[in-house]
Amino acid sequence: MPSITVSAALFGALVLLFYRLIYLPFLSTPLNRIPRPKLYAISQWRLAYEDYKGTRTRTINKLHTKYGTAVRIGPNEVAFNSLSALRTIYGAGSGFERTSFYDMFDAYGKKNLFTFYSAKEHGDRKKLVAHAYSKGVILRGSVATMIEEKVEKFIKLIERDPKCASEIFSSLHYFSLDAITEFLYGGFGRTNCLEGDETDRALLGDIIDVARRKLSWFAVHFPGFTKWLYTRTNTVERIVRPFYPMKKPTTYTGIRAHALRAWQDFYAAPEEVKGESSVQTSIIGRLWKYHYSQKKDGGLGDLDIASECADHLLAGIDTTSDSLMFLIWALSRSENRIYQDKLREEVQAIPDSSLNDEGIPTVEACDKLPYLDAIIKETLRLYAPLPASEPRSLPTVSNIDGYTIPPKTVVGMSPFSLHRNGAVFEDPLKFNPERWFGNEDELTEMKKWFWAFSSGGRMCIGLHLAMAEMTTLVAAIYRKYSTTVKAGYEDSAPGVTSRFEVFHDDTFAQVSEHECWIDFQAR
């Protein structure tokens, strides 16, 4: 009898293994038609291991090189890298929704533009603020004036404190934080990092901490456990503290606390202050019109508005500052001097009539500079601010590139892979802004593959604001200065944290995460 029991148990175990490792991933699903490495198809933890190492995006790109434009990267996940898939998944009206991956970006327990799953919820919220982000509003009026003022303060920082300005990872974060806080909150949550406010500068501390990558990994792969871990108090907290992926304060803690205080200050302000034109044009002022106290038929709650503003705040810091850092660093490398010289020639030709009273080029004038536009495009191509995949799913069966995709399968694409297609971008790892002055057919094809700001209904709402900040600051800097990489840092590339990974220039072996030193030479 015992031998029969053992044999039955062994047989049952073998059947279970066959069911889990062979039948489910390979025989029972149409996903088995999609090229894949076998271990990835069997278990989600194979890709999770790449997440942990910080090599997910580069690994998927290598898999595309080996297996083609469609690769199964998990039992229920597929990566694509084609224009047809791009249109199917991310095109307007596609029906594909965001996944639970984005839950870690909720603020105060409330969803927002970035984290809403459905297109309808996202679209309804977007309507409330879309006009504030329109190109016409950004290029002219109070927003343009605000951007020019922040640019002027950055130029003065170079003059007043060149050591602080020269570490451009930090100083450009000061610039982007000061700009986005005033755009969102007006005077209620405006920061003054560029003018040396140490309390405001300290808000960036938990963003700079490299342990945020480990926390992101736990938040995605063990969301329930991570939430439990960080909500313990008193004795239990002291016991579990050594097991924190990231010590408190965790990523965005300071930023979110600042954002919540800004909302509380706004809410407590007198009605006549809330009605001032400068307040009404801020994002918080625009959302206030939809607060439940202002509408008879429902409306936004306190934390809905606080979460929405906090989301825009977080989205407007790293993306702009990291892109600016890579742009200035790339132009400062000796092999790229020719591009810097051409840019300086273009920005120095801006007529006096297109300068403000402080000699800063106007936002509107900077929007019309073709060589600067090409440099920004090339920076965003090679160093996209959000280079990793953007996961989506559909509750029904779909067909992508001829493959049947079962309901709730996670599918995604990444700017990193799209922008490194050697058939579209010649010598794709080379920084070459002049590729954007190629023949019309080449330009048309490159623009189709350019995906730095996503596409469709989920396209980055802050596109025009980010471009205005970048064009104006870069034009102002290179009107007055030339730049070089500081001596001793020529053989190292700056690196930035994005989710689980560090992104940098792949042609460099040495990486300095969250550090970039540049010399500004007055001309």
The stretches of 281-317 forming alpha helices (DSSP H) are 283-288, 302-315
Unique residue bearing structure tokens 């092999």: 335
- Closest Cα to residue 192, out of 141, 156, 140, 138? 156
Nearest to 74 by CA among 214, 227, 220: 220
CA pair distance 290, 277, nearest whole angstrom: 17
Rounded Cα distance between 251 and 318, Å, is 12
404-421 burial: b if 16+ Cβ within 10 Å, else e? ebeeebbbbbbbbbbbbb
DSSP secondary structure code for residue 109 in this structure? T
Q: What is the DSSP string of 175-242?
A: HHHHHHHHHHHTTSS---GGGT-HHHHGGGHHHH-TTHHHHHHHHHHSHHHHHHHHT--HHHHHHHGG
Per DSSP bridges, beta strands 410-412 and 77-80 are parallel
> Binding site for heme: what residues are annotated?
460
Q: For 446, which DSSP code?
A: H
Binding-site residue positions: 460
Q: From CA 184, how far away is CA 26, in angstroms rounded?
A: 50
Question: Rounded to whole angstroms, how far apart are CA atoms 99 and 116?
Answer: 9
Record the tokens describing residue 115, joined without a space.
């984290």
Cβ 380 vs Cβ 470: under 8 Å: no
Report yes or no: 319 and 461 within 8 Å, Cβ to Cβ.
no
Q: CB of 315 within 8 A of CB of 113?
A: no
